[in-house]
Amino acid sequence: MQVGLGFWDSKTLLSAVEMEVFTELARRPGTAEELQRRLGLHARSARDFFDALVALGFLERRDNTYHNTPATDRFLDKRKPSYIGGILEMANQRLFRFWNGLTEALRTGRPQNEAKTGGESFFAALYADPARLKEFLKAMTGLSHGANLAIANKFQWRNHRSFVDVGTAQGDLAVQVALAHPHLAGIGFDLPEVAPSFEEYAAQQGLGSRLKFIPGEFFADELPRADVVMMGHILHDWDLNQKKELIRKAYDALPKGGVLIVYESIIDDERRRNTFGLLMSLNMLIETPAGFDYTGADCMGWMKEVGFRDAIVEHLVGPDSMVVGNK
């Protein structure tokens, strides 16, 4: 029953993010009556809503006054640079309703997003709107920041001098690697529309001279050459042949002794434990024509097929792992 009615929990959190409950509480804690007025809630709903957030572990209540928890104060206050709620905003606006079409997707294999009704694709609309694109790229940083920090700290960067982050988005992976390893120079590679967000973020981190942006489309263009090629949350968007094509292009961009790092919510080889990775693959069913997530063994096999001499899987954080292929 808890799983079957899990959307109750999910939508309660998503609505709290939508109404900026955590941002408002970061400004000033309040009683149910005070928060009802500040947030514009109906008297019937307020107390149950706030107490449900307490029961779910997202708020604390002390002497009838509601406060953020340390985690929600850090990660769900929109005014803080640590905010990761952008991905939850997108889930609320788009994915929550699209997942209602999962049964149809399972039967037809067809996406259930904007493409289902012949509307403009989400990404076409996104890339045509600079302000909306900037917010989306920030949301992607929130989703991947923990894994980016882990890659910066776990991989043996001392043996390399340069890297390229393919599909870089705002550039948080490139930024975290460069911050941790001053001897490295890096490239962010993505569509031209991404350049302003990448360059602004790199400059904010004091990395404008060490990180540069190269515009391109990774199927149409050659990948920039570097000692290490990284692809985070990229391969799962595509079908098997396209996955192999991108791995082959990475191989061609590397020198002998170079390394490809692929990271996603890699599914465990027995396909039993990484629930998030398996559900992410269903999300690719909802969102893409042919994308899917995969196991570490799958990815290592594809790497060896194009010529990498060996590959390993290493856990990063949460559901994310990286597959490291050596040329």
Q: Tokens in use for 194?
A: 């991404």
Q: 316 φ, ψ to 5°?
A: -105, -80
Q: Residue 192 has what DSSP assignment?
A: G
- Alpha-carbon span 139 to 133, nearest angstrom: 10
> CA torsion sign, 26 to 32 to 37 to 42?
positive
Question: Is residue 315 flagged as an active site residue?
Answer: no
- One-character DSSP codes across 49-118: HHHHHHHTTSEEEETTEEEE-HHHHHHS-TTSTT--HHHHHHIIIIIHHHGGGHHHHHHH----SGGGGT
What are all long-range contacts of 148-151, with beta carbons under 8 Å and residues at least 24 apart?
148/172, 148/173, 148/175, 148/176, 148/177, 148/232, 149/176, 149/317, 150/316, 150/317, 150/320, 151/176, 151/177, 151/230, 151/261, 151/263, 151/316, 151/322
Local structure of 198: helix, strand or coil = helix
Q: What is the DSSP letter of 187?
A: E
Among residues 42, 160, 236, 315, which one is catalytic? 236
Active site residues: 236
